[in-house]
Amino acid sequence: MENNAELQYQIEQFLYRNASHCDHKNWKAYLEDFCEEMTFHVPQWKSEFEYTTNPKREMSLIYYANRGGLEDRIFRVETEKSSSAYPLPRTLHQLSNIRIVKVENDEIYIEAGWDTSYVRMEVVRRFFGLVHYRIKKQDQSFKITYKQVILMNDKINAVLDFYHI
């Protein structure tokens, strides 16, 4: 792999582009950032400081075992077959404190903070938390193989969907 500073920069730019694809509702480009066999998981909190870790046995707020689940959700959003997503909110995703935790078997483990502000029908809200990625280098870019989003909000006053996080 490249030197740490160059790899850090490349990963940051990749993650910023992924967030921008979501904000601009460029769903095709957004999906292309994920591997076919990726996992997308938003666990539920068990207690004040412990969240679920096994999405197949414990409750999750969102869980897609592969990209097909995300593709299906995006299809419903694009075709307006999801009343909870119509009209779609305007969003602004911000990532911070992006850091490489380790590199193992061609996978790069990343942790970051995130904050999404959104407005829907004149109501402004915000979701925020931590995110864990596993990313593989592919060709001249990267692909997300795993995304776990830890939602820190105590209350969810809206329908939570992939584009909020």
Quote the CA–CA distance of 149 and 165 in Å, as a whole number: 7
- Give bridge partners of residue 56 from the DSSP assignment: none
User: What mean pLDDT do residues 121-138 have?
Assistant: 93
Residue 45 in contact with residue 155, Cβ under 8 Å?
A: no
pLDDT of residue 1 exceeding 60: no
pLDDT of residue 4: 86
**pTM for the full model?**
0.92
Question: What Rg value do the Cα atoms of the chain yield, rounded?
Answer: 16
pLDDT digit string (tens) for 53-87? 999 999 999 999 999 999 998 998 888 766 666 78
Structural domains of the chain, with CATH = 4-164 (3.10.450.50)
DSSP string, 81-128: --GGGSSPPEEEEEEEEEEEEEEETTEEEEEEEEEEEEEETTEEEEEE
